[in-house]
Structure 1
Amino acid sequence: MQATDRCSKPTLMGAALAVAFTLLPTGGVQAQESPKDSYRAEIVILQRLVDPASIEEQMTGKQVEPVIETASSLWVEDASGRRISDLQLTNKNEMHLGSAARRLENSGNFRVLATAGWYQNFPQNYDGSPMRIAVGDWLSRAQQKAVEGYIEIDRKRYLHVSVHLNHWQEGPVQEVNLQTETTGTVSGISETTETSSIAEMATNTPPVMVMADPEPTPAELVTWIRETRRMRSEEIHFIDSPTIGVLVFFKKL
C-alpha cells in the first residue's frame, strides 16, 4: 500500500475524530472588517502516538526531495521550542478547531504539534506560496525537527490546501570503526634467535587503538503526507498518514 493511498483515507483516527468534532462551537472573535473573500483559516498538526516500528509500510530508504525554500513560515520551531511565524496568529481559544485539538490530546492517543489560526483574504485566482512547517521532537543527531515540510493555500473557484510533510526519526547509531596500529620495532635480534622468541617480543609490543570518527547519522523517514484537497467553508477537513495528520478549517467572514 502506498503512502499516498493511506493519506487519502482518514481511517486511522476516525473514531477519536468523530468524538472530537461532535457539537463543536462555531463562534470566535471575528475581525472588525469582513471584506469580500476574507476568511479565518485554521490548521492543526497532530502526531498519532504509535510505535513507528509497528507501521506496516516501512518507508526507510524512500527518496525524498530536498526541502524547498519558502518565503514564509507558518509554524517553525527551533531546538529550544521557540516558535517563528510570519502570520499574525489568533488566540487558540478563538479557534473552531481548538476544542477538537484539546479532545484529541486528552484522549491520550494524539499529540498536538501546532494549532494555528489567522485571518486572510483569499480572492479568486489566489496563487499562494508554500509556508514552512517544522514541529515535533528535536532530532539532535540530524539537527532538525521530526516533522518538516510546507503547507500551501490556493484559490481558483474553490480553496485548495496542499500538504507536503515528512515525519522523521533518528537513524540508527553508526558503529564505531576501530583501527589497530602497532608501534615499536623489533631490532637487535641475531640470526640464531628462535622464531618463538621473536613472536613473543612482537606480542609484548602494545597496539594503539585509533578511533575513527563515525559518519553523521541522517534521519530516517517514518511516513509522509503528499496531498492536495479542495476545501469547503465551515467544514472540517482531515488529511493524514499513519503517524501524522492535519486538520483544516475555513470560515468565510
Structure 2
Amino acid sequence: MQAQHFCLRHTVIGSLLAAAFMLAPTVLMAQSQSGNAPRDYYRAEFIILERLVDPSGIDEKMAGKQVEPTIQPDKALWVDQADGSRLSDLKLVPQSELHLNQAARRLENSGNYRILAATGWYQAFPPDYDGEPLQVALGDWLAEAGQRAVEGHITIDRQRFLHVGIHLNHWMIDESSPASPLQLVTWIRETRRMRSEEIHFIDSPTIGVLVFFKRVE
C-alpha cells in the first residue's frame, strides 16, 4: 500500500509539473533593481503543499515515533498565526511573480493537492554559507493543541553546492485519544543538494515541498 501511494503521488505530481513548466518562462528576472546583482545572488522559491488524502489510509506507522521537540528558530519563513495573520522575517515576493507559479496553479486545480504556501525571496548564498533555520507553521489550526497542522523548519546551506534541509511534521487531532489528542501523521526529514534552475521535490505521503533556485547574474 505504501509503495502504491508513493508511485501515485509521484506520477501525478510529475505529470502536472511537466505540463506546468512547458508553459513556464525560461528567463526569471529579478525584481526591479539598479546596478548589478551581488555575487552569489539567488532567487529561492518554495511551494509547500498538502496531499488531499484520508490520513487513516496512510501506512507510515508513525505511532510511537519519537519526535524531538520543535526548535524555535529566530527567523520565520512562513508562519500562519492563530488569528490568521502571517508572519515572515524575509522580504517575500508575491506568488504571481514566481517561476513555480504555473506548477502551484496546476497542482491546486488537479484537486489532489492544497497549496499551503507558495513564495520566494532574493538572497546571497556565498560559499561556506551556514544558514539558520527558518520557521514554518501552516495548514489547519489545531485548536486543541494550539498550533498549525504542519510545523517545523527549513534550512539553506552552501558548501560547493546549495543544500536544503526540510524538517516538517504533519499533525492531526485524534478524537479517540482525549489524553493525548495530537497525533503525528507523517513527517519529512531530508537534506538534499540543489542544482540551480532545476525543480526539486521532497515529500512524505501527505505533505511535500517544491524547491527552485535561480542564480541572478
TM over 0.5, yes or no?
Answer: yes
Partner of 1:238: 201
Partner of 1:203: none
Q: Contact 1:170–1:220 at 8 Å: present in 2 too?
A: yes
Partner of 1:14: 14
Residue type at the aligned position of 1:40: R
Pairing 1:144-159 to 2, within 5 Å after superposition: 144-159=147-162
Q: Aligned pair count?
A: 209
Equivalent-residue separation in structure 1 for 2:204 and 2:141 (angstroms): 20
Partner of 2:186: 223
Does residue 1:116 correspond to 2:116, yes or no?
Answer: no
Q: Contact 1:75–1:132 at 8 Å: present in 2 too?
A: yes
Pairing 1:1-253 to 2, within 5 Å after superposition: 10=10, 13-31=13-31, 32=33, 33-174=36-177, 215=179, 217-253=180-216
Match of 2:130, SS?
Answer: coil
- C-alpha deviations, 1:61-96, integer Å up to 9, x for none? 311000012110000011222110000001212110
Equivalent-residue separation in structure 2 for 1:92 and 1:246 (angstroms): 15
Equivalent-residue separation in structure 2 for 1:127 and 1:27 (angstroms): 28
Q: Contact 2:28–2:214 at 8 Å: present in 1 too?
A: no
The gaps in structure 2 that reach 5 residues or longer are: none
Equivalent-residue separation in structure 2 for 1:64 and 1:12 (angstroms): 30
Q: CA deviation at 1:22?
A: 3.0
Partner of 1:208: none
Q: Contact 1:40–1:120 at 8 Å: present in 2 too?
A: yes
Please say which structure displays the higher CA radius of gyration.
1
Match of 1:120, SS?
Answer: strand
Equivalent-residue separation in structure 1 for 2:56 and 2:207 (angstroms): 15
Equivalent-residue separation in structure 1 for 2:61 and 2:20 (angstroms): 29
Residue type at the aligned position of 1:229: R
Equivalent-residue separation in structure 2 for 1:43 and 1:13 (angstroms): 15
Q: Report sequence identity in percent.
A: 62
Equivalent-residue separation in structure 2 for 1:25 and 1:96 (angstroms): 7
TM-score (norm. length: structure 1): 0.77
Equivalent-residue separation in structure 2 for 1:139 and 1:46 (angstroms): 17
Q: CA deviation at 1:28?
A: 4.4
Equivalent-residue separation in structure 2 for 1:108 and 1:20 (angstroms): 15
Q: Contact 1:127–1:154 at 8 Å: present in 2 too?
A: yes
Equivalent-residue separation in structure 2 for 1:247 and 1:129 (angstroms): 20
Give the number of the structure with larger relative contact order, counting CA–CA contacts within 8 Å between residues 6 or more apart: 1
Q: CA deviation at 1:11?
A: 5.4
Equivalent-residue separation in structure 2 for 1:52 and 1:232 (angstroms): 33
- C-alpha deviations, 1:194-243, integer Å up to 9, x for none? xxxxxxxxxxxxxxxxxxxx64x441000000000100001111101000
Equivalent-residue separation in structure 1 for 2:99 and 2:172 (angstroms): 31
Residue type at the aligned position of 1:16: L
Q: CA deviation at 1:56?
A: 1.9
Equivalent-residue separation in structure 2 for 1:161 and 1:47 (angstroms): 19
Q: Contact 1:38–1:120 at 8 Å: present in 2 too?
A: yes
TM-score (norm. length: structure 2): 0.89
The gaps in structure 1 that reach 5 residues or longer are: 175-213
Q: CA RMSD in A?
A: 2.1
